[in-house]
Amino acid sequence: MKPKVKRIDMAIHIQEICAKYNLTVRYQTLKDKQPNYYARPATKEIHVRPTKNTGYYVSTLHEIGHILGDYQGAQWGTDYAGLSQDKIILTKEIHAWIYARKNALVWTETAERVMRKAMDSYGWGEIEKKIWKDTTDRCEKLEKVGA
Ligand SMILES: [Zn+2]
């Protein structure tokens, strides 16, 4: 069995990614009751909660995914053509979660619940659910061989 990933490991992981890619992190005070997560790809900034638990950790990775993940912006180029605004948003959201899933040190039931709740709020459809399932299967296979 893999050693348990501690909160400090998750916090350091976030710091390492941000240092490596020169991202600015702004932390929301834990006194705020309402979560307020966002990413500003143009200025490479994320606004997140401190890495206090797995849910906050994967939510932060998701915001980083809006900057470093696939299908997020400029690098998408002309592929935007013909897609509705709703579809563009869903595509960005699922791929930011895929970035989180692929990069997370650990993916727990809490992580999965946070992800599903977020995608539910955007009204994800069969296409996004299929993409997510394929990613999950691939990640689980890699985790099994210890890659
Ligand atoms: Zn998002």
Express each pLDDT in 34-81 by its tens digit.
Answer: 889 999 998 999 999 999 999 999 999 999 999 999 988 755 555 666
Confidence of residue 139 (pLDDT cuts 50, 70, 90): very high
Alpha-carbon span 5 to 14, nearest angstrom: 13
DSSP 31: T
Residue ranges per structural domain of the chain: 7-145
Confidence of residue 4 (pLDDT cuts 50, 70, 90): confident
Interval 3-16 mean pLDDT? 94
Interval 1-22 mean pLDDT? 91
**Alpha helix stretches (DSSP H) within 69-108:** 85-103
Alpha-carbon span 1 to 21, nearest angstrom: 31
Around ion ligand 1, residues with a beta carbon closer than 5 Å are 93, 96
Q: What is the pTM of this model?
A: 0.92
Q: Do the Cβ atoms of 23 and 45 come closer than 8 Å?
A: yes
Let me know how many helices (H) and strands (E) the chain has, helices first: 5, 3
Please give the backbone phi and psi of residue 27, each rounded to the nearest 5 degrees, phi first: -100, 135
Ligand 1 center from residue 93 Cα (angstroms): 5
Strands 24-27 and 38-40 turn out to be unpaired
Ligand 1 center from residue 1 Cα (angstroms): 32
**Alpha helix stretches (DSSP H) within 46-147:** 54-68, 85-103, 109-122, 126-144
Ligand 1 center from residue 89 Cα (angstroms): 8
